[in-house]
Amino acid sequence: MSDSVLHHLTDRLAKKSQEPIDESEMTDDYGAFGWLRGVRDRALYLELRQKDGSVTALGYPWLESVTFDPSDGLTLKFTGRTVTIHGRNLNAERRPNVQLLNGILRHKIPWIQEATSSSLLLLSPDQPIVESLRFE
């Protein structure tokens, strides 16, 4: 009888590992950015989503430095490319220990979304807003 129980459990685990993972269940959406929930979860790439629909994904391993200046925004220097993120409240805490800068440093941010003009009207003034992404 114990063999059949063990066989049943291993079959269930094998089937569960083959099921597609819904990444939206693992990521919190804060409007301007996503946050990986799991304590050990780390993003491999940072998706930079522009308001025109184009997306650029840059690998976290190639992130060389991060600079935050409240008047200039966030500057991310990747090998061979620099991205400047302009906006408001970019270092505001969305909930305890959830901040854009902190999340980038810990590789917890899988994507950053540039706000559209219509979404700017709906956002509260205290939440982080990415007004523009500039690539160099």
Question: Would you say the C-alpha torsion 78, 84, 90, 94 has a positive or negative sign?
Answer: negative
Whole-number Å distance between alpha carbons of 109 and 40: 13
**pLDDT computed for residue 94 by the predictor:** 82
Is the pLDDT assigned to residue 108 strictly greater than 90? yes
pLDDT tens-digit series, residues 40-75: 999 999 999 999 999 999 999 999 999 999 999 999
Whole-number Å distance between alpha carbons of 21 and 19: 6
**pLDDT computed for residue 136 by the predictor:** 93
Q: Which of 31, 38, 53 is nearest to 107 (CA)?
A: 38
Whole-number Å distance between alpha carbons of 12 and 8: 6
Q: Name 50's Cβ contacts closer than 8 Å, sequence gap at least 6.
A: 56, 114, 133
The token pair that represents 59 in the structure block:
């690998």
Size (the chain), residues: 136
The model's pTM: 0.78
pLDDT tens-digit series, residues 24-33: 568 999 989 9
Mean pLDDT of 110-119: 87
What is the DSSP secondary structure assignment for residue 123, as one 8-state letter? Answer: S
81 has which bridge partners?
Answer: 78
